[in-house]
A = this chain, B = another copy of it.
Amino acid sequence: MFPQLSAHIRRFVQLTANEEEILFAKLQHIKLKRKEYLLQAGKQCAGNYFVLKGCLRQYFVNQKLNEQIIQFGLEDWWIADQDSLLNHQPATTYIQAIENCELLLLPENERQDLFNRVPAVERYFFIMMQKAYVASQRRIGFIFNQSDEERFRYFSKLNPAFVQRVPQYMLASYLGFTPQFMSRLRAKKV
Number of copies: 2
A–B complex contacts, Cβ < 8 Å, 6 sampled: A82-B130, A82-B133, A115-B119, A116-B119, A125-B126, A126-B126
In the bound complex, residues from chain B placing their C-beta under 8 Å from that of A63 are 145
Interface string of A104-138 (1 = CB under 8 A from B): 00000000000110010011011101111110111
Chain A interface category by residue count: 35 or more
Q: Is A68 an interface residue (CB 8 A)?
A: yes
In the bound complex, residues from chain B placing their C-beta under 8 Å from that of A68 are 141, 144-145
In the bound complex, residues from chain B placing their C-beta under 8 Å from that of A132 are 133
Q: A129-B130, A130-B129 are in contact. Are A83 and B138 (CB under 8 A)?
A: yes
